[in-house]
Each structure stands twice: as C-alpha cells, then as structure tokens.
A and B are shown apart, each in its own frame.
Chain A
Amino acid sequence: MTKSEFEQVILQQKDKLYRFAFSILKNSDDAQDAVQEVVLKLWKNKHLLDRAKNLESYCLNAVKNHCFDVLRKQKQQQNYEQNVWVNATTEPEIEQLDLVEKLKQELYRLPDQQRLAVSLRDIEGFDYSEISEILEQSVETIRVNVSRGRKKLVELFKEELKDAYQ
C-alpha cells in the first residue's frame, strides 16, 4: 500500500474512526488523539493492512483496541461507568433537554458492549459480521447486545416520556 493509498483510506474513514473513538472515550480531544495514534500505528504496520480483508473493520478494530488501552492506562475503566452514571444523574439541566438529546445521553449510559454494538449497527450502519470483526465477538453476541441496547433505550425513553408528561 502506497502512502497516497493509505492517506486516501484514512481520509475516507476519518469521521467514522473519530465517532467510534468518541463513543468509547466520550471526549473529543481524546478521540482525536486516539485516531491520530491509530493512524500512526497503522502506518507503522501497513504490511498488515495489505493482508486485511476489510480495511474499514480493521481500522475500527485498531481504534477500539487503542481506546480501551487508553482507558486502561488512565485507570479510568473502573470508574468509567460510575462517572457516566453520576454525571448523567446529577446533571440538573437534563430536564430541559429535548428528547433527542435525552436519547443520546441514554445511549452513552448504556454498558460499553451494548453501546458500541448499537452505535456500529444503527449509527455507522455496519452489518453484524462486520461488527463481530470489529469488536472481536461472535455475531450472536452482537445481535444480543444490539437488541438489549435498543430495548434498554426504549425503556429509558418511555420512562423519560412518562416523567415529561407527569
């Protein structure tokens, strides 16, 4: 793979990679940093890119691994969900947010695996086999995670609606 080919591949996927990194790290600067790091790693191991069956999945998988490494290194992994939960529940302005914004927040409150599966399926539009390649899980696990994630979202949404109507 030549440099220009590599640049073309990355530029095509830049936003997707960023969104995926953002969905894991939940921070724009960290997500940008992660994408840049992954691009550097991919370039260093570009011989592996040539062998990859699906470049998109391969790049997203690299982003996922890097982002989880970042979280592990920062020792935030343990507090991660707690923090998100605390942030989400203690935010006073949540009541004023519109339904779409609330839904977005609910999405970010989902457990990692469900959130990533739902994001990749519904936002990025990947099929289950691609998601299973990216997340290194079986297709069945992905199906279950997507289904559970969506179910949770609709339940939380209904509760929000009830609260809003009351």
Chain B
Amino acid sequence: MRTNKPDFFWDNEPFPEGSEKAHNTPEENDFIRSYREMIRGEQTRKAAFDPFEKLKKEQRKRTLITRRVLSYAASVVIAVSLFFAFQHHQHRKAQTQELAELQKNTSQALLYFSKELNACLTQLEDAQKKMGEPVTSIQALKNININKNNPFKNINFNQL
C-alpha cells in the first residue's frame, strides 16, 4: 500500500543506488538524488593539515624541558662537586700548613734543646773541673744560669 511517507525513511538504511523507486514522487526522487550528491560532496571534504602538529610540538617541548632539567641537574652537580673539591683542597692545605708549622716548631725546639744541652754540658764540664778545686769554687755551682728565655722549656710534647 502506498503511503504519503517515502519508505526509505522508515527502513533506516542508507540510500543505496536505485533508491529512486517508481512509486516515489518526483520530489522524493529529487531529494534522493540531491541527498546522494550531498553525501558525495561531504565525503570529499578534506583539509590539508598535519594531524600530528600538536603532538610534534608537545614532543619538542618535552625534549626541551628534559634538556633543561638535565642541564640544570648537571650544573647543580658541578657546583656541588666544586664546593666539595674546594673544601677538600682547603682541608688539605690547612693540614699541610699545620704539618709544616709542626715541623718548623719541632726543629726550632730541637735547636733550642741542643743549645741548652750544650750549655748544660759546658757547665757540667766546668763543674767537674771545679770538683777538685777548693769548696769556695764548688759553691759557684749554685750560680748555674739556665737560659730562661727558651720558649720550649715548659712544652709538653704529649699534648701536640
């Protein structure tokens, strides 16, 4: 039975070739033709663009950020290394200086000690000579003069 409504709207199928049926009105056939042409036109709608443009931009950005982070990290590592190297260098320098000072002080102490020893030995020799002499001469031993200016005479070497 012919209805007012064209059947191609009700079967929910796309318009296949030959949808223009004999029982369709000229208007309906016009519609089908125009509709099919419109579909063809829409199907050819294309745009010349790169769908990966933003993806590439994002990847470039990410690479740039990674590089920046790496260079920042590298600079931090370098700065920290330099700081510790400097600290180490300063420490070693201080140690070397301390050692040199200790060496100098020791040699000076030895020098004073040997001088003092020499003086003592000389005075001991004199005292031995005076042993055979009269008592008055021996009393002069009380006047043995130890160099009081020796800065190392009271030094405690265990504390060094």
Contacts and interface: CB of A to CB of B under 8 A. Distances in A.
A100 interface: yes
A10 B49 CA distance: 12
Interface of A: 7, 10-11, 14-15, 17-19, 22, 28, 31-32, 35-37, 39-40, 43, 99-100, 103-104, 107, 119, 121-123, 125, 128, 143, 146-147, 150-151, 153-154, 157-158, 161
B27 A161 contact: yes
Contacts of B42: 19, 104, 119, 123
B39 interface: yes
Interface string B25-61: 0011011001101110111011101111111001000
Among A31, A35, A125: residue with most chain B CB under 10 A: A35
Nearest to B50: A36
B45 A22 contact: yes
CB-based closest 4 A-B pairs? A36-B54, A99-B34, A32-B49, A123-B42
Interface of B: 5-6, 8-10, 12, 14-15, 27-28, 30-31, 34-35, 37-39, 41-43, 45-47, 49-55, 58
A153 B30 CA distance: 12
B39 A123 contact: yes
Chain A contact residues, majority secondary structure: helix
Nearest to A21: B47
Contacts of A14: 51
